[in-house]
Structure 1
């Protein structure tokens, strides 16, 4: 057998990579379809969207789980997880702005992915809105103002900054969104007639201040973020009331409403039955201990077929 030179070795690896992409894309084409919607009358997306928090080690639970996620999610595992979601039938990914998330986007596209993407402002982008036109060229369907920053601006009476973001995104031709954990924010923006195209709506109001939580709970508050049983009802009541499309997130309360498959299905069923028919849901996935991607897709298909 002739000796493999550097050039032939490179060619072999490129051919192998191309073969892997072909297999991956063939698997994606063969995956059972997930229910889809025409989001905002503009873009066809899967009604189940994969989120990004677990990919980056943000569990919204505790530092131990954060670290567990970060050890599992190497740069290559992040890419693999998004591609696995695409193979399972998910056509859409929501990511927040960070150099590492942009690297994932570049990585999946280099492997032939057709995943559609929504962007959430964060880090440098949250500080510098002049980045918006350049980022829009990456092909995001929509770009939304970060939820925690929105809620802070609402408390401080500084919503002009959020409106500035919305207008700058609209100038690029992308859909302009606002993310929030507080249903009052959505109602306030709607009352002002802002040119928002969509909302990202958290089913749990985790951004309550300690003072807000104490006032609500009779003088004491939970340790950490506030996940209250009736929060999903409060948010979905607003989602159903407005005409603009919504991307609901934290359906499972960052895992708190999960556990058994029955519990997961109940949380998904509540969300899909209480958002509008043209809305979709974002779910973070951490397939270290079980195949959460396949399970979530199976549950969504089951709910929509029943």
Structure 2
């Protein structure tokens, strides 16, 4: 399999001495987190064997991406090792695994797999915030700093990121979700057993983009396609990319999950970003 040369890379930013393409490939699909339905969750998990996951990553390389994002668990570690053994060269940004019983051990495990950055899981940030125990996250961020990787934090609730900003916590970047799926409506739906029905309110995009614009730190915008809700047509996908890229800062990037089973989403998304990114 071939790797994109530097001249073929998508438009890129520089975070310190690290060059990162403005589009990176996300990892929710690998673990079956569709935010659509339990059926799609299962289809995604079934598709993402080691070979299919590695093929998706090599396709991303060939289309000019140089960075991928996924979570830090045993399933991903297995695929990451296979990708690298087969010659894969994309950089890796890793999310902590919220289900791990020891977040500090999880950070150490992730660090052993050479990420360029580690960030705190957004859903865990939301949960700790809602329970009034969020300040413990600062020690987790310090543990990430000790690994030598860049340090970030994700949240679906913009007020969490604003709090981190106001407190001056030691982070290099923010993971900024375009949709606040942690709203009260989501908790009510989950309580009713509708785990995959979540609020995707377009008004949330303006709120998070205001935060993105006012912070000096780089941001990784995610769920810019609304977990497929902006994918009804090629034009709607392009419009969603344009909305995001027009509103984030020049130093910011977008993280998009891509499911290669039915169409070449990697090539389509890369073409859009090459044109307007």
TM-score calculated relative to the size of structure 2: 0.92
Aligned partner (choices 122, 141, 150) of residue 166 of structure 1:
141
The answer for the alignment partner of 1:33 in structure 2 is 9
Paired residue for 1:102, among 77, 85, 89? 77
For the 8 Å contact 2:50–2:82, the answer to whether it is kept is: no
| CA–CA distance in structure 2, aligned partners of residues 223 and 119 of structure 1 | 24
Question: What's 2:155 paired with?
Answer: 180
Aligned residues of 1:72 and 1:288 also touching (Cα < 8 A): yes
- Report what 1:88 is aligned to: 63
**What runs of 5+ residues in structure 1 fail to find an aligned partner?**
1-23, 215-220
2 CA distance for matches of 1:123 and 1:188? 21
Higher mean C-alpha deviation, range 92-101 or range 62-71: 62-71
Aligned to 2:274: 301
Q: Would the alpha carbon gap of residues 298 and 211 (structure 1) be closer, same or farther in structure 2, given more than 3 Å must change?
A: closer
Match of 1:263 in 2: 236
- 3-state SS of 1:28 partner: coil
* 1:30, distance to aligned residue in structure 2 (A): 8.4
Shift of 1:209: 2.8
How far apart are 1:259 and its partner, in Å? 1.6
RMSD, matched Cα: 2.1
2:41 is paired with a residue whose SS is: helix
- Does 2:54 match 1:79? yes
- Matches of 1:144 and 1:89, distance apart in 2: 24
Matched, 1:224 2:197: yes
Q: 1:113 aligns with which of 68, 84, 88?
A: 88
Confirm or deny: 8 A CA contact 1:198 1:246 kept in the other structure.
Answer: yes
Q: Report the number of matched residues.
A: 273
* Contact map agreement 1:248 1:280 (CA 8 A) in 2: yes
Distance 2:195 2:134 in 1: 28
Whether contact under 8 Å (2:24, 2:68) holds in the other structure is: yes
Give the 3 Å change call, closer, same or farther, for CA 210–302 of structure 1 in structure 2.
same
How far apart in 2 are the matches of 1:83 and 1:126? 32
* Partner secondary structure for residue 294 of structure 1: helix
1:234 is the counterpart of 2:210: no
Q: Structure 1's 126 and 42: CA in aligned 2 closer, same or farther, altered over 3 A?
A: farther
Indicate the residue corresponding to 1:209 in structure 2.
184
Q: What's the CA shift string for 1:106-142, capped at 9, x where partnerless? A: 0110011111011100155463313423432322111
Find the counterpart in structure 2 of residue 54 from structure 1: 29
- Taking structure 1 as reference, are residues 126 and 201 closer, same or farther at Cα in structure 2, changes over 3 Å only? farther
String of CA shifts for 1:212-262, please: whole Å, max 9, x gaps.
Answer: 889xxxxxx998211001111111110111111111100100000112111
Distance 2:182 2:99 in 1: 21
| Distance of 2:93 and 2:175 partners within structure 1 | 10
Retained in 1: the 8 A contact 2:26–2:68?
yes
